[in-house]
């Protein structure tokens, strides 16, 4: 019942917001990409990473850290892109998949960042089909050939799907047929086709065909410049007014909006939490509180909603940001205390609560979310929380230096609280630590100079380990 109600709300509010969004984006001045790059590129074991350069300036409305270079949907932990919300479904800790607020917030923030940084790039090869309709004498249109130049990488599609219809894409040389279908009961020969069942039609659909193929078939594409044909099937009066293919900017903008919409629809109105229901144990004695409320999810979702609110100025969005902050300051549902003394914002709040994991990056992301929220909606309790948590982090940073690997960081403090082995940060998490400390040190320079210096010192120290 509740689910259906939510779905209804989704459709009621989806359209007006998207119109506002597009309007604001068209009318705002997009800052030019600076010639001196805000990022430093690092190559390591065939991977490319980015940290922040001295010319990087954080702004709560603009791109988020180095997330423009993230590709959340390509991660192995993304099972597929959800059929109703067009957001990633995570397989982390639950193989059948679940909607994981941290991953969804990251998906939205990465597309937002790409949109802000790359929207000036002049895109080529964007195609539009108007008025796709079945032929008079049968249920389908004829096959239309897409222009040859459309690379498989750029197969971003946007359209509104009517009831009881299906849009078919045939990748000729790869011999794959991808079907976006709202005919949920019809028999379709599944073996030769990849079917995306689109619930809730009529509705807007924003997908990346390459991602759908990668996630849903076990095959990889052989021909990256394949010939693609398309066909629309449905009842005689059904129609797709406009199908846009290849507009990545539009996709980035809408993926941000899909994530925002999911977050607005699924927040618990009382606690402000995006509750997570998957089970996870740590050793034999500890497990996540069920359901759990991750401080990192609260912080990253707030960072995303702050960017939405900067566009919409909609008071509902402001209230969602305020609610997101609630578990971080008004209860201990997402918090722990180190040595009964230092407050911490827990990515994974454990039971019993006396024990904590003290994951470093989760707390730093949560802090950034609080700073973002406080920028658009200054509150005395958030000022106080920022003072308290920055003080804790500055005191606890020495514990995050690996004792055996010179100037390398550790991921959490389970070696102290659970007597585990040192949990050395992976290469990519070590860079995440550097990036977050660099950014926060700069943000806090004026308001918290001594904390800022400590953050800067540890960012530099961790840097020596990779240079």
Ligand X SMILES: *[C@@H]1O[C@H](CO)[C@@H](O)[C@H](O)[C@H]1NC(C)=O
In the complex, the smallest distance separating the C-beta of residue 235 from ligand X, rounded to whole angstroms, is 6
**Separation between Cα atoms, residue 12 and residue 324, nearest integer Å:** 23
Residues recorded for the chain? 467
Nearest CB to ligand X, comparing residues 97 and 202: 202
In the complex, the smallest distance separating the C-beta of residue 271 from ligand X, rounded to whole angstroms, is 13
What is the contact mask toward ligand X in residues 74 to 93, using x (rule: CB under 6 A)? --------------------
Q: Which two tokens stand for residue 328?
A: 């971080």
By CB under 6 A, residue 406 contacts ligand X: yes
* Contact set for ligand X, span 218-237 (CB under 6 A): 235
What secondary structure does DSSP assign to 230-280, as a single string? Answer: EEEE--TT--EEEEEES-HHHHHHHHHHHHHHHHHHHS-TTT----B----
CA neighbor of 144 nearest in space, from 156, 154, 131, 153: 131
**Separation between Cα atoms, residue 414 and residue 422, nearest integer Å:** 7
What is the contact mask toward ligand X in residues 186 to 225, using x (rule: CB under 6 A)? ----------------------------------------
* Contact set for ligand X, span 446-465 (CB under 6 A): 460-461, 464
In the complex, the smallest distance separating the C-beta of residue 439 from ligand X, rounded to whole angstroms, is 19
Backbone torsion region of residue 30, taken as left when φ is above 0, otherwise alpha when ψ lies between -120 and 50, otherwise beta: beta
Nearest CB to ligand X, comparing residues 160 and 460: 460
Nearest CB to ligand X, comparing residues 122 and 284: 122
* Contact set for ligand X, span 325-354 (CB under 6 A): 330-332, 337
In the complex, the smallest distance separating the C-beta of residue 124 from ligand X, rounded to whole angstroms, is 9
**Region of 34-42, 82-90, 205-213, 243-251 interacting with ligand X (CB under 6 A):** 243-251
**Region of 143-151, 212-220, 247-255, 283-291 interacting with ligand X (CB under 6 A):** 247-255
Nearest CB to ligand X, comparing residues 56 and 257: 257
Backbone torsion region of residue 356, taken as left when φ is above 0, otherwise alpha when ψ lies between -120 and 50, otherwise beta: beta
Q: Which residues of 175-190 are buried (b: 16+ CB within 10 A; e: fewer)?
A: ebbbbbbbbeeeeeee
Nearest CB to ligand X, comparing residues 97 and 200: 200
Q: Which two tokens stand for residue 303?
A: 């960072």
Q: Which residues of 242-256 are buried (b: 16+ CB within 10 A; e: fewer)?
A: ebbbbbbbbbbbbbb
- Residue written as tokens 């010939």? 227
Task: Number of residues interacting with ligand X: please give it, by CB under 6 A.
Answer: 22
Which residue number has the CB closest to ligand X? 250
In the complex, the smallest distance separating the C-beta of residue 385 from ligand X, rounded to whole angstroms, is 11
Nearest CB to ligand X, comparing residues 407 and 453: 407
78 phi, psi to nearest 5 deg: -90, 115
Q: What is the 3-state secondary structure (H, E, C) of 83-126?
A: CCCCCEEECCCCCCCECCHHHHHHHHHHHHHHHHHHCCCCCCCC
Nearest CB to ligand X, comparing residues 98 and 461: 461
Nearest CB to ligand X, comparing residues 332 and 428: 332
By CB under 6 A, residue 249 contacts ligand X: yes
In the complex, the smallest distance separating the C-beta of residue 79 from ligand X, rounded to whole angstroms, is 25
Which residue of 126, 152, 153, 227 would you call a contact of ligand X, by CB under 6 A?
126
Burial of residue 217 (number of CB atoms within 10 Å: 0-12, 13-18, 19+) = middle
Under a CB-based contact definition with an 8 Å cutoff, are residues 241 and 160 in contact?
Answer: yes
What is the contact mask toward ligand X in residues 150 to 189, using x (rule: CB under 6 A)? -------------xx--------------------x----
By CB under 6 A, residue 118 contacts ligand X: no
Which of the 8 DSSP states describes residue 31? P
Cis geometry, peptide bond prior to residue 155 (ω within 30 degrees of 0):
no
- Report the SS3 class of residue 390: helix
Nearest CB to ligand X, comparing residues 32 and 46: 46
Which residue of 181, 201, 253, 261 would you call a contact of ligand X, by CB under 6 A?
253
**Separation between Cα atoms, residue 101 and residue 273, nearest integer Å:** 10
By CB under 6 A, residue 313 contacts ligand X: yes
**Separation between Cα atoms, residue 294 and residue 300, nearest integer Å:** 10
In the complex, the smallest distance separating the C-beta of residue 215 from ligand X, rounded to whole angstroms, is 24
Nearest CB to ligand X, comparing residues 33 and 172: 33
**Separation between Cα atoms, residue 347 and residue 330, nearest integer Å:** 17
What is the contact mask toward ligand X in residues 255 to 294, using x (rule: CB under 6 A)? ----------------------------------------
By CB under 6 A, residue 378 contacts ligand X: no
In the complex, the smallest distance separating the C-beta of residue 315 from ligand X, rounded to whole angstroms, is 6
- Residue written as tokens 């059904």? 238
Question: What residues line the site for ligand X (CB under 6 A)?
Answer: 45-46, 126, 163-164, 185, 235, 247, 249-250, 253, 313, 315, 330-332, 337, 406-407, 460-461, 464
């Amino acid at each position: 019942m509740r689910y259906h109600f939510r779905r209804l709300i989704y459709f009621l509010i989806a359209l007006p917001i998207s119109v506002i969004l597009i309007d604001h984006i068209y009318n705002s001045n997009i800052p030019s990409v600076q010639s001196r790059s805000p990022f430093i590129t690092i190559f390591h074991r065939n991977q490319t990473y980015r940290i922040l350069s001295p010319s990087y300036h954080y702004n709560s409305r603009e791109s988020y850290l180095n997330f423009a270079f993230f590709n959340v949907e390509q991660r192995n932990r993304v099972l597929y892109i959800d059929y109703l919300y067009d957001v990633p479904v995570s397989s982390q800790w639950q193989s059948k998949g679940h909607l994981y607020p941290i991953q969804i917030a990251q998906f939205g923030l990465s597309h937002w960042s790409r949109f802000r940084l790359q929207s000036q790039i002049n895109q080529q090869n964007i195609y539009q089909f108007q008025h796709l309709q079945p032929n008079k004498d049968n249920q389908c249109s004829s096959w239309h050939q897409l222009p040859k130049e459309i690379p498989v990488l750029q197969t971003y599609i946007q359209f509104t799907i009517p009831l009881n219809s299906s849009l078919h894409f045939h990748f000729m040389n790869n011999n794959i047929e991808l079907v976006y279908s709202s005919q949920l009961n019809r028999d379709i020969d599944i073996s030769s086709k990849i079917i995306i069942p689109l619930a809730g039609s009529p509705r807007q659909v924003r997908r990346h065909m390459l991602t759908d193929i990668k996630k849903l078939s076990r095959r990889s594409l052989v021909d990256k410049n394949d010939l693609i044909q398309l066909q629309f099937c449905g009842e005689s009066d059904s129609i797709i007014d406009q199908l846009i293919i290849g507009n990545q900017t539009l996709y980035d903008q809408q993926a941000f909006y899909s994530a925002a919409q999911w977050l607005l629809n699924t927040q618990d109105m009382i606690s402000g939490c995006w509750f997570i229901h998957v089970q996870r144990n740590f050793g034999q004695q500890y497990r996540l509180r069920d359901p759990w409320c991750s401080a990192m999810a609260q912080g990253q979702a707030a960072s995303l909603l702050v960017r939405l609110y900067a566009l919409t100025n909609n008071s509902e969005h402001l209230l969602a940001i305020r609610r997101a902050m609630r578990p971080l300051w008004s209860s201990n549902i997402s918090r722990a205390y180190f040595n009964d003394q230092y407050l911490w914002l827990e990515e994974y709040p454990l039971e019993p609560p006396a024990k904590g994991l003290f994951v470093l990056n989760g707390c730093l992301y949560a802090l950034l979310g609080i700073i973002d929220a406080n920028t658009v909606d200054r509150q005395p309790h958030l000022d106080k929380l920022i003072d308290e948590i920055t003080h804790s982090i500055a005191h606890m940073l020495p514990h995050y230096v690996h004792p055996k690997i010179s100037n390398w960081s550790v991921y959490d403090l389970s070696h102290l609280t659970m007597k585990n082995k040192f949990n050395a940060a992976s290469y990519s998490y070590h860079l995440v630590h550097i990036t977050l400390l660099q950014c926060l040190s700069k943000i806090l320079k004026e308001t918290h100079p001594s904390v800022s210096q400590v953050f800067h010192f540890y960012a530099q120290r961790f840097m020596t380990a990779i240079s």
